[in-house]
C-alpha cells in the first residue's frame, strides 16, 4: 500500500512542531457566498484522494457501505422530522443536520469503546451516528413517553450514555467544558479513549469554549474539539461574527489544530483519525474545523432568506452534497451500484416512516411524569439517604 499523501500532510511542517498544517489554501472568510469561486488549488479534481488514507484504505466494502447508509439514514430521518414539524407534530425548535451528515458519520465511525461524544443542539446526526435507534429519536421530537429522553428533552436534548453519547445541549458552547470533563474522567480513570466535543462555528466566541481549551491543553486531556463550520451562527455569517480563522485560535492554547472539508467523509475520517489517535496515545487535545453546510435554516422555524441566497444553497447541494459525492465515489470504486444505493435509500425512507409511525402511535408522558427524573433520590426511594421535601408544590 503506497504511503498516502494524507499521511505525509499530517506531519507538521519544519520549524513548527506544534501545529497541524491546514490541508488547503483556505478561501476567505466570505467563502460561503463564493463557493463557485474557490482557489484553483482547492478544486476537487486536484485534491487529495482521502480514500487512500490508511484509516479509509483498510475499510471493507461493507464498512464503506455502512458509512453511506448512516448518512442516508440521517438525511431521511431529518426530512421526515421536517414534515412532522410542518404538520405540527413537533414543538419548539428543530435544528436539522441535512447537508452536514459526513461530519458526524465520519467522526463517530472512528469511535472505540472508550471514546465519547458530546454536541450542541443540532444533535440528530450524532445520535444516529453513535447508533441510537431512530424510533425513540422521532418519538422524542413528538414529545412522547417512548422518546429517548421520555419526552423531557426534545430535539436539542438527545442522550445515550450507553452509547457514550452525552447530548444534545442547548446553550451555545456550554457543552464544551462538559466534553473536556469527559476527557478528564477518561484520563483520571486510566482509560485509553478520547472525547469528541462538537460545536458550531458560532460557539467559538463563547468564553466557556476558551476556558475549556485552556484546561484541556494545560492538563493534557484527550479531547478533540470539533468545530462544525457551516458558515453561519444562526443568521450571522462567519465574516460578520468571528475574527480570524476559527481552528487557529487553538494555537493560542498551544494546541494542534487542523481544517478539512466536511463534505468528504473520507477526508473527515483521515483528519479525525490523526487527532483522535493523538488524543488517545499522547493525551493531547486538538481543535479541528470541519467545513460543512446546512441546507435548512438555523432552526426550521427561522427564515432562511435574509442572510444567504437560494443560489448559494443550490450551488453547494449541486457540487458538494456529501451523500451524492460519496455515492459517486463508492460506485467508482466498484463498492456500490446505483441499484444498491437506491435500495439503501428506500430502506432509510421506510425506516424514517416507521419511526414517525412509532412516534405517532406512542403515548405522551402524563402530568404525573413531570416530577420523575428530577432527582436520583426521588427516583430511587428505597436507596435514598436524604430526608426532607424535594418538591414544593
Partner 1 sequence: MPVITYREAIRHALAEELERDANVVVMGEEVGQFHGAYKVTEGLLAKFGPNRIVDTPISEAGFIGLGIGASMLGVRPVMELMFWSFYSVAFDQILNNAANVRYMSGGQIHCPIVIRGPANGGTNVGATHSHTPENVLANHPGVKVVVPATAADAKGLLKSAIRDNDPVFFLENTILYGEKGEVPEGEHLVPLGLADVKREGKDLTIVTYGRSVLHSLAAASVLEQEHDISAEVVDLRTIRPLDIDTVLKSVAKTHRVLIVEEQKPFASVGSQLAYMIQREAFDELDAPIHRLATVDAPAIYSPPVEVEQLPNPQRVLQAALEVLA
User: Which residues of this protein are in contact with partner 1, per CB under 8 A?
Assistant: 116, 118, 147-153, 157, 159-162, 166-171, 174-182, 184-186, 188-189, 207-208, 211-212, 214-215, 218, 372-377, 379-380, 385-392
Q: Decide whether 56 or 164 has the Cβ nearer to partner 1.
A: 164
Nearby residues of 24 by Cβ (< 8 Å), 6 or more positions away:
41, 42, 47, 259, 261
Taking the complex as a whole, how short is the minimal distance between the CB of residue 388 and partner 1, in angstroms? 3
Provide the minimum distance between the beta carbon of 180 and partner 1 in the complex, in angstroms, as a whole number.
5
> Are 178 and 118 contacting, i.e. CB atoms less than 8 angstroms apart?
yes
The rounded distance, in Å, linking the Cα atoms of 147 and 52 is 40
CB-wise, 150 or 308, nearer to partner 1? 150
C-alpha cell at 71: 448518512
Q: Terminus-to-terminus CA distance in the chain, angstroms?
A: 68
Residue 262 CB-half CA count within 13 A: 28
The CB-of-211 to partner 1 minimum distance in angstroms stands at 3
Nearer to partner 1, 10 or 148 (CB): 148
Of 62 and 393, nearer to partner 1 (C-beta) is 393
Question: 253 or 307, CB closer to partner 1?
Answer: 253
Smallest separation (angstroms) from partner 1 to the CB of 4: 34
Least separation in angstroms between residue 193's CB and partner 1 is 10
Helix locations, 130-248, DSSP H: 134-141, 175-188, 207-218, 238-241
- CB closer to partner 1, 333 vs 379: 379
Distance from C-alpha of 292 to C-alpha of 200, rounded to nearest angstrom? 10
Minimum Å gap between C-beta 351 and partner 1 is 22
Rounded to an integer, what distance in angstroms lies between the CA atom of residue 154 and that of residue 86? 16
Task: In angstroms, give the least distance from the CB of 216 to partner 1.
Answer: 9
**What is the separation of C-alpha 338 from the centre of its chain, rounded to a whole number of angstroms?**
27
DSSP lists the bridge partners of residue 198 as: 226
CB of 130 to partner 1, least distance (A): 14
Query: For partner 1, which is the closer residue by CB, 177 or 235?
Result: 177
Which residue, 193 or 258, has its beta carbon nearer to partner 1?
193
Question: Distance between CA 28 and CA 347 in Å, rounded?
Answer: 40
Contacts of 196 (CB under 8 A, 6+ apart): 107, 108, 111, 115, 116, 117, 118, 179, 223, 224, 226, 272, 276
d(CA 207, CA 202): 12
Q: Assign 287 to helix, strand or coil.
A: strand
Amino acid at each position: 500500500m503506497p504511503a498516502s499523501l494524507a499521511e505525509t500532510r499530517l506531519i507538521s511542517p519544519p520549524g513548527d512542531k506544534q501545529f497541524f498544517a491546514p490541508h488547503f489554501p483556505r478561501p476567505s472568510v466570505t467563502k460561503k457566498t463564493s463557493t463557485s469561486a474557490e482557489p484553483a488549488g482547492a478544486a476537487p479534481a486536484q485534491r487529495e484522494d482521502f480514500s487512500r488514507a490508511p484509516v479509509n484504505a483498510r475499510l471493507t466494502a461493507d464498512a464503506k457501505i455502512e458509512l453511506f447508509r448512516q448518512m442516508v439514514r440521517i438525511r431521511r430521518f431529518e426530512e421526515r422530522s421536517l414534515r412532522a414539524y410542518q404538520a405540527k407534530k413537533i414543538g419548539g425548535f428543530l435544528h436539522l443536520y441535512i447537508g452536514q451528515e459526513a461530519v458526524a458519520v465520519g467522526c463517530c465511525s472512528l469511535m472505540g469503546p472508550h471514546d465519547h461524544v458530546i454536541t450542541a443542539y443540532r444533535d440528530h446526526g450524532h445520535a444516529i451516528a453513535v447508533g441510537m435507534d431512530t424510533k425513540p429519536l422521532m418519538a422524542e421530537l413528538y414529545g412522547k413517553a417512548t422518546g429517548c429522553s421520555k419526552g423531557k428533552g426534545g430535539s436539542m436534548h438527545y442522550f445515550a450514555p450507553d452509547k457514550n453519547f452525552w447530548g444534545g445541549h442547548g446553550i451555545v458552547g456550554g457543552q464544551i467544558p462538559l466534553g473536556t470533563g469527559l476527557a478528564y474522567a477518561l484520563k483520571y480513570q486510566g482509560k485509553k479513549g478520547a472525547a469528541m466535543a462538537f460545536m458550531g462555528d458560532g460557539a467559538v466566541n463563547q468564553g466557556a469554549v476558551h476556558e475549556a481549551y485552556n484546561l484541556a491543553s494545560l492538563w493534557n486531556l484527550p479531547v478533540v474539539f470539533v468545530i462544525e463550520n457551516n458558515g453561519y451562527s444562526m443568521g450571522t455569517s462567519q465574516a460578520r461574527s468571528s475574527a480570524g480563522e476559527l481552528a487557529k485560535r487553538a494555537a493560542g492554547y498551544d494546541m494542534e489544530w487542523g481544517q478539512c472539508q466536511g463534505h468528504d467523509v473520507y477526508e473527515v475520517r483521515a483528519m479525525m483519525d490523526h487527532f483522535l489517535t493523538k488524543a488517545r496515545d499522547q493525551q493531547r487535545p486538538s481543535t479541528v474545523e470541519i467545513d460543512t453546510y446546512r441546507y435548512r435554516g438555523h432552526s426550521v422555524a427561522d427564515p432562511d432568506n435574509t442572510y444567504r441566497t437560494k443560489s448559494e444553497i443550490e450551488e453547494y447541494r449541486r457540487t458538494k452534497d456529501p451523500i451524492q459525492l460519496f455515492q459517486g465515489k463508492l460506485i467508482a470504486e466498484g463498492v456500490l451500484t446505483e441499484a444498491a444505493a437506491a435500495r439503501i435509500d428506500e430502506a432509510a425512507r421506510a425506516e424514517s416512516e416507521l419511526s414517525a409511525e412509532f412516534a405517532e402511535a406512542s403515548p405522551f408522558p402524563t402530568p404525573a411524569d413531570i416530577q420523575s427524573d428530577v432527582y436520583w433520590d426521588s427516583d430511587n426511594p428505597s436507596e435514598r439517604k436524604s430526608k426532607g421535601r424535594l418538591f414544593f408544590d
